Amino acid sequence: MTPLCTIIPPYLLDRLAELGDENARRSLAADTALRAARATALRAAPLPAGRPGRTVADAGHSTRLPGRTVRTEGGPPTADPAVNRAYDGLGATLALLLEVYGRRSVDGEGLPLQATVHYGEEYDNAFWDGQRMVFGDGDQVVFRDFTGCVDVIGHELTHGVVQYSAALEYRGQSGALNESLADVFGSLVKQYALGQQAADADWLIGAGLLGPGVRGVALRSLKAPGTAYDDPRLGRDPQPASMDGYLETGSDQGGVHLNSGIPNRAFYLTAVELGGAAWERAGRIWYDAMTGGALRPDADFADFARTTVAAARSRFGEGPVVEAVAGAWKQVGVPAL
């Protein structure tokens, strides 16, 4: 079954709830209810197929999905900025997938993209539930509106790509790879939309999402895992940057949002070593590894590292590209050869 993949890790909401944040408690309760309803929802609602169009609905601050349709493919912008940001973010993700990798939507067969905005009351999260993207408005204290970051939208929709390709299990190292791929391609969606080279990108996930007064720049950093925030409410970014700091934990599905910093940094190192636009060579290698059929659902970091080296060799031949990929994995402590 496709997991409920949220952009805000549960350990952050847990920490806020422990500090007495009632909104975090409500958001956690909503996430728990959503996960409990997943099996029934997926059995009851067949996925649509056809042209990769976009539909944005408004939940009206309820938790009923999908909500009232407010914008469809080709329709004019609305008076609601959240609707328009969601629509544009879906489009930016479709553009990267199609124009760079020749993939028609997340399933490769033109699956229409659906999104719902204004979910819940000050809901502090956004998620992909296997069928649609759902955005909370945030509480405007710790988190701002979740439609405001195109990389967050790209991140969540990449879980859909994984769902239809590698189908990585959402626990332990395979789950951390699932999260890392979502971060990698979420960052590439932003870089492609902005026309940035690897050397010019900020390599942050959720820059601009943290509320006023929060000490931090984003949710995660691919360039420097563990440095995205250090705040009295959120604590310090716990992501390790190499296997030396690998976290063995029973929480967060075995650390899927934590240990994803390790493969994240391997991609960053590969991209800056190769230079140019990250979506070209580094992104193509990671895309080939994700969609090429060589990964088992329970793949670990070493499995994925070897798959990226093989993908680099297959596409670019022996030489500096393969060396850059293998060298990046070596720097984060994962054997790739």
* Active site positions, annotated: 156, 257
Question: For residue 136, what are the β-bridge partners?
Answer: none
Whether the upstream peptide bond of residue 66 has omega within 30° of 0, thus cis, is yes
Token match 């996925």: residue? 47
Q: Which two tokens stand for residue 257?
A: 């949002």
Q: Which two tokens stand for residue 275?
A: 């230079």
Q: For residue 216, which phi and psi values (nearest 5 degrees)?
A: 170, 170
Token match 């004019």: residue? 76
- Element containing residue 268 per DSSP (H, E): helix 261-274
Question: For residue 134, what are the β-bridge partners?
Answer: 116, 127
Within 8 A by CB and 6+ apart from 109, the residues are 49
State the Cα–Cα distance between residues 222 and 264, nearest whole angstrom: 5
Q: How many residues does the chain have?
A: 337
Cα distances (angstroms) measured from residue 37 to each of 2, 34, 64, 125: 12, 5, 12, 17
Cα distances (angstroms) measured from residue 272 to each of 10, 68, 128, 189, 221: 31, 43, 29, 17, 14
Contact 57, 67 (CB under 8 A): yes
Within 8 A by CB and 6+ apart from 306, the residues are 336, 337
